[in-house]
Structure 1
Amino acid sequence: MLPSDSSSSENPNPSPLGLSDSPDFSQSEMDSIISSLLTFPDSSSLSISSSFDRVLDTLLSSGDDTVQDQVIDRTLERFSLLLESTKRRSRKRATLHNSISWFLPSDLTIKVFSMLDTKSLMQVSACCTMLNKCAMDPLCYSHIDLTTAFKHADDQVLHTLINRSGKQLRSLKLGRRDAPVYVPSLFTNSCLAPLQFTGNLLRSLHIYYIGFMYIDSLLAPLSACSNLTNLKIVGVNVFLEPIIELLARKCCLIEHLSLDNYSQGIITDSTIELFVANCTKLTSLTLLNFKLSDAMAQILVNGFHKLKYINLSNTVGFDGSFLRVLGDRCRESPLETLILRDCISLQEGEVVKFLNSIIAGNFISIRYIDVSSDKGLASDGERRTSKPNFPLETLKKKRWDVTFVGDFPLRPRFFRFGTLTEDLMV
C-alpha cells in the first residue's frame, strides 16, 4: 500500500485547518502572516470581505459538523484577539498623545477629576490609559452620586466605587430621586455594608426610594459614620426611630437631617428628648409623615438652639398650640423657615396667634412660613376652613421681610407676600 493511502486510512477526514495536526510555525513566521493580512492594500477590484467569504465557504464545505464548529469557533476567537489587540494599541497611542499634549501634571489632573460628577468621571476614565490611571485615584471618589443618572446601578457598582474611594469617601447618594414608589430598586439590604469599613470620614449620605430594608442593614453602616453631618432618607420602608436614636448616640455632629416616615412608624417622647439633648449642632430638620404631639414639636423647635430650618409637613397629631408657646419664649430664635404643609389637625386659631406673635416682635429671624393644605385648616372643633382669617395686612406692614404662604385649594386663592409684594392667584 502506498504511503499516501496509509495516511488516508489513518485520517479519513482531515481537518480543513489542520486542527488535529497543525504545522509548527516560528514566531517570526506567525508575525509575517499577520503582518501580510494587516498590510494588504485596499483595492476596488479586490474585496477582502469577499475573500473572507470564499475562504470560509471552502473550509466549511468539507468535514462533519464538529469540525465545522471548530473552524467557526477558532475564526471568531482569533479575530476577537485581533480586535482586542487593536483596541489596546489604540489606547496606548492615545495615552502617548495625551501624555505629550496634556498640560496638567497628574496631581492637578486628579484634583480636577475629583470635582466631576460620578457619571462624567466614568466617561473620562474610558478615554485612555493615562486618564484612566488618574481617574482611579481614591480622591476622585470622595463624592459618589448614583442617583438619577445611574438608573441601572446596583450593589456591585456601588461596592466597586466605595472600594476605590478608600478612606477618601465624603458623600454618597444612591437611588432614584424621581422614582415612583412602584419602581423596583436594584440595591439590596447589603448595599451599604462597605461603609462599616470606609464610612468613618463620611459626611453626607442621601438614600432615595430603594424600597424595603432591614433596620440592621442601616444601623450597622451608620454606626461607623461618626462624622456624619448630613443624612437624608426618602422612600425607604424601614422604621426610623432606631435611626434617630443611633444618631443621638453615635452621630452627634449631625447638622442636616431629612427623614420621610415611609413606613408610618411612630416616634416616642424619650427618643425626641435624647435626640435634642445630644445633637446640638442641628441647623436643618425635615420630618415628613410623622405622628407628633404639640409637646414633641415644641421640644424640637425650642430644643435645637441653632435650628434655622424646620419642615414638619404631613404631620398627624399636633394642632399648632406649640407655636403659641414658642412665640412667647423665642424672640431671639435663629429660626428662618417654618413649613407645616398638609398638617391635618393644624388649627386656624393657632396660626393666627403665631402670626400675631411675630407681629409683636418675636422670632426676629423668621423669613418664610408655609401652612398650605389641600384640606384647609381645622377651625372651631371639627369644622374646616379654606378661608382663614389671617392678619396679613398687619403682618405685611410690621414684618415686610416675611414671606407667608397659605394655599388652600378648597378656596382657589393663593396668598403670598414678601419684600413689599402680594400676589393673588385665582
Structure 2
Amino acid sequence: MHPYGLSPDLTIKVFSMLDTRSVFCAAATCSFFQKCAIDPLCYINIELGTLESKIKPNKDPKTKDAMVSTIIQRAGSAIQSIKLDIKWPYISEADDDEQWEYMEGPPFLTGCCLSSLCANGGVAGTIKETLSEALSASLSVCHSLVQLKIVDMNAHISHTMESVSRHCRLLELFIFKFCGGPPDMLETSVCKEFVVNCPKITTLAVQTCILFPCVAFELVKGFNELKYVDFTNCFSLTGAFLEDLATEGGGNSLEVMILKGLYSLDKVGVEKFMEALVAGKCRQLRHLVNFHIFFVFGGTYPLYS
C-alpha cells in the first residue's frame, strides 16, 4: 500500500475526474501529487473557467498564453475537451490582492495559447469554446470533433462554418452566438456546404446573425437528424421561413424550435405554420418558443400557455 493510501495509477484516475483548478491545487500540496499531476490523463478535459482566481489581470498576456499552452502540451493526445471561458477581470475598489472581481466580457488570452493544440495533432473530442483568431487553425486538426460551441466571441459565422465543413464532418452539435460589431451574415453557399458535409448535426443554434429565410429553411430541411434548432435574435428572418416549412416540408425530426427576438416574424407566416402543424406536419415537434409566446405541443393539437 502506498503511504498516501492510493497508488499513482489510482491517484491519476481520480485527478482525471477533477476540474483543472482542483488538479493544480492538489499538485501544490506535495511532491507525490505533483508527479501524478504531470500525467496527460489528468488533463483530458481542460476547463480554464475554473482557473479565474489563479490567472490575475496584472499578468502579461504572454504569460497567460504560456500557461494555457503548457496545460495543452501536458495533455498531449489524451485531450478530449477544452473550455476557454475565462471572464474579463477588473480590480475591486478595495484593491485587495485577494479580492478580484470579474465581469462578463472578452477573454484576455490570444490565439497563441492554442498553438500547442495543432502540435498535438488535434483533439478527439469536444471544443466548447475557443478564441476567434485561432479557431480555423484549431479546427483544421480536429477531425473527430463532435461538438462545437462558440458564444460571445467576435468570430464570423460564414468563416466558422466553412472551417467546420472542411474539417469536422462528424459534428453533431453546433452552437454559434455572435458578439461584437455589426451582425455577420450567413451566406447561402456556405450553408449548403455545411449541410452536405456535416449530415450528423442534431443540435443547431445560430444566434444574433443576419439569417435570411431561405438560408434558415435550407438548414432545417437539410439535416435529416436535426432535433433542436435555435435562431434567437437573428436579423432578416421573416415568416417566409415558416411558410416554406409549411408548404415544402422539412424538419421531420425536429423536437424543439426556438425563434425568440425575431421582430420580422410576421403573423401570416406563423399562422400558416400552425395550420401545417395541425394538419400533421413536423409531428415530432414538442416545443416552439416564439418571441414572448411559448407553445407546448401534445398529441396532434397545440396547447397554448
TM-score (normalizing by structure 2): 0.83
Which residue of structure 1 aligns with residue 274 of structure 2? Answer: 355
Which residue of structure 1 aligns with residue 78 of structure 2? Answer: 168
State the secondary structure of the residue aligned to 1:370. strand
CA radius of gyration, larger in:
1
**Alpha carbons of structure 1 residues 152 and 399: separation in structure 2 relative to 1, 3 Å:** farther
Which residue of structure 2 aligns with residue 185 of structure 1? Answer: 107
Which residue of structure 1 aligns with residue 32 of structure 2? Answer: 130
Task: Report if aligned partners of 2:81, 2:123 keep a CA contact under 8 Å in 1.
Answer: no
Which residue of structure 1 aligns with residue 2 of structure 2? Answer: 99
User: 1:397, CA displacement in angstroms?
Assistant: 7.4
**Alpha carbons of structure 1 residues 305 and 256: separation in structure 2 relative to 1, 3 Å:** same
State the secondary structure of the residue aligned to 1:147. helix
Which residue of structure 1 aligns with residue 168 of structure 2? Answer: 251
Q: 2:49 aligns with which of 144, 147, 162?
A: 147
* More displaced stretch, 242-251 vs 197-206: 197-206
Which residue of structure 2 aligns with residue 295 of structure 1? Answer: 214
State the secondary structure of the residue aligned to 1:260. strand
Task: Report if aligned partners of 1:110, 1:135 keep a CA contact under 8 Å in 2.
Answer: yes
**1:16-67, CA deviations, whole angstroms, 9 ceiling, x for partnerless residues?**
xxxxxxxxxxxxxxxxxxxxxxxxxxxxxxxxxxxxxxxxxxxxxxxxxxxx
Give the residue type in structure 2 aligned to 1:326. Answer: L
Give the Cα–Cα distance (whole angstroms) in 2 for the partners of residues 164 and 275 of structure 1.
33
Task: Report if aligned partners of 1:259, 1:288 keep a CA contact under 8 Å in 2.
Answer: yes
Is residue 204 of structure 1 aligned with residue 126 of structure 2?
A: yes
Which residue of structure 1 aligns with residue 147 of structure 2? Answer: 230
TM-score (normalizing by structure 1): 0.61
Q: 1:280 aligns with which of 199, 208, 233?
A: 199
**1:270-321, CA deviations, whole angstroms, 9 ceiling, x for partnerless residues?**
0001111111011111111111111101100000111111100111112122
Give the residue type in structure 2 aligned to 1:207. Answer: E
Give the residue type in structure 1 aligned to 2:68. Answer: L
Which residue of structure 2 aligns with residue 45 of structure 1? Answer: none
Task: Report if aligned partners of 1:247, 1:275 keep a CA contact under 8 Å in 2.
Answer: yes
**Alpha carbons of structure 1 residues 221 and 398: separation in structure 2 relative to 1, 3 Å:** closer
The percent of aligned pairs where both chains have the same amino acid is: 33
Residue segments in structure 2 that go unaligned for 5+ positions in a row: 56-63, 89-101
Give the residue type in structure 2 aligned to 1:137. Answer: D
**1:97-143, CA deviations, whole angstroms, 9 ceiling, x for partnerless residues?**
x93251x3322222221111111111222222222222221011010
Give the Cα–Cα distance (whole angstroms) in 1 for the partners of residues 178 and 29 of structure 2.
43
State the secondary structure of the residue aligned to 1:306. coil
**Alpha carbons of structure 1 residues 199 and 357: separation in structure 2 relative to 1, 3 Å:** farther
Residues matched between the structures, number:
282
Residue segments in structure 1 that go unaligned for 5+ positions in a row: 1-97, 374-387, 405-415, 417-426
Task: Report if aligned partners of 1:314, 1:342 keep a CA contact under 8 Å in 2.
Answer: yes
Task: Report if aligned partners of 1:331, 1:364 keep a CA contact under 8 Å in 2.
Answer: no
User: 1:233, CA displacement in angstroms?
Assistant: 1.2
Give the Cα–Cα distance (whole angstroms) in 1 for the partners of residues 256 and 78 of structure 2.
34
